[in-house]
A and B are shown apart, each in its own frame.
Chain A
């Protein structure tokens, strides 16, 4: 079983090789200048950096993360069902209909509550 994952390691090795070549190339080819005090300040379109980096983010991002967790868990149930439901016949289809029904009700609830609105 584990043997079928060996090609992935080969691909990862190619990726690491590429990254190493790029990093080394950059080290040897890149300029090394004397750096002034302002050289490494965060880029803010030329104006001086103001405030901390930890800007306040909209709560929508957290809401999206929660929605994602809720709706992506379905994949865990849907994929095994998707392969095997033939052997369950009618029952399998009806049960999944119920599961997806609950999920859709959840989506409609989020929709009505305004969780899907991004206009400010």
Chain B
């Protein structure tokens, strides 16, 4: 009973903290992008423009809620809510410290893949329900991209599972804390696996260079073309939450999670997550968008075969290398 209350409280707290972090994450990205382009970024609202996101949300809520003619109303309204729920839901099994974890599931990795994979559904709902060509094409592209990159993602995530022999996320982190981070050893398996995970994570959350589903120059805004006000805000937040939680999962599976010297576990986990989160935006403001066919070729002809090799490599490592599995 005690553990239940503990978990429930952490569930609520983690979700709330994530949403607050997102507000400042958006501010941070805009500052970061500004500096990269020799601008200042937001400076007006609050000290250093810190309250910019709050102002933006209030502004967006003041916008008219437009529903296009002949839209599929229930699906149109439900899609942004589901997007927010699914992106937050993954956070439940991410361990932020040995004790700060909402639910230490035995099948945590499967839970992450399952709930993360559900993100396709709100995208499709929004694309279909909008009664708009751009939204439908954007939705189909987004689905093709998400399901394609799901394959290398599954293979990359399998590598830490094989190396540690458990599906529990905290179990994987504990294994890394007792032995070595998977990124550092075995380095020739860990580094490519992490690279594949990171690229797939960027693709799943539709970040540059994989943001073809909402390529402005050809598709207006993809699935969010017809969304305004509160519903657009939810989609926008869901996208950032997805990226942040994806960074946290990457930190837990490959970078040793809360493991680190001198400081408490929570500090290390937050630091690693924020570093990965920052790199997403570093990439975003540095690179250009890939073409649709380049994206698919990268996924199916490069990442998937390499992923299969990595899985076999990890299994062989565990089986044949003395001390590969303790």
Contact = CB atoms under 8 A, between A and B. Distances in A.
A16 B158 contact: no
Interface in A53-90: 53-55, 57, 60-61, 64-65, 67-68, 71-72, 74-75, 78-79, 82-83, 85-86, 89-90
A104 B301 CA distance: 11
A27 B301 CA distance: 48
Interface residues of A, number: 69
B34 interface: no
A4 B7 contact: yes
A30 B58 CA distance: 10
A57 B80 CA distance: 24
B41 interface: no
Contact of B64 (A6, A33, A111): A33
Contacts of B321: none
Given A13-B12, A15-B88, A45 B220 contact: yes
B274 interface: no
A61 B231 CA distance: 27
Contact of B85 (A12, A61, A67, A104): A12
B8 A104 contact: no
Given A4-B104, A79-B167, A10 B8 contact: yes
A107 B103 contact: no
Contacts of B81: 15-16, 19
Interface of B is mostly: helix
A118 B293 contact: yes
Contact of B133 (A32, A44, A64, A107): A44
Interface string B223-247: 0011001110110010000000000
Nearest to A41: B69
Given A4-B105, A100-B308, A53 B10 contact: no
Contacts of B225: 43
Contacts of A43: 68, 132, 134, 220, 225-226
B94 to A, nearest CB: 11
A22 interface: yes
Contact of A14 (B16, B110, B315): B16
B215 to A, nearest CB: 14
A111 B158 contact: no
Interface string A10-38: 11111110110011011101111100000
Given A3-B4, A43-B68, A83-B161, A10 B11 contact: yes
B165 A64 contact: no
Nearest to A80: B167
Given A14-B88, A25-B230, A41-B69, A83 B167 contact: yes
B67 A40 contact: yes
A79 B110 contact: yes
Which A-B residue pairs are the 9 nearest by beta carbons?
A: A7-B11, A118-B293, A10-B11, A26-B230, A7-B102, A14-B15, A22-B230, A68-B147, A25-B61
Interface of B: 4, 7-12, 14-16, 19, 58, 61-70, 80-81, 84-85, 88-89, 91-92, 102-105, 109-110, 113, 130-134, 136-137, 140, 143-144, 147-148, 150-151, 154-155, 158, 161-162, 165-167, 220, 225-226, 229-231, 233-234, 237, 292-293, 296-297, 300-301, 304-305, 308, 311-312, 315-316, 318-319, 325
8 contacts: A4-B104, A14-B15, A29-B61, A30-B64, A89-B319, A93-B315, A93-B316, A100-B312
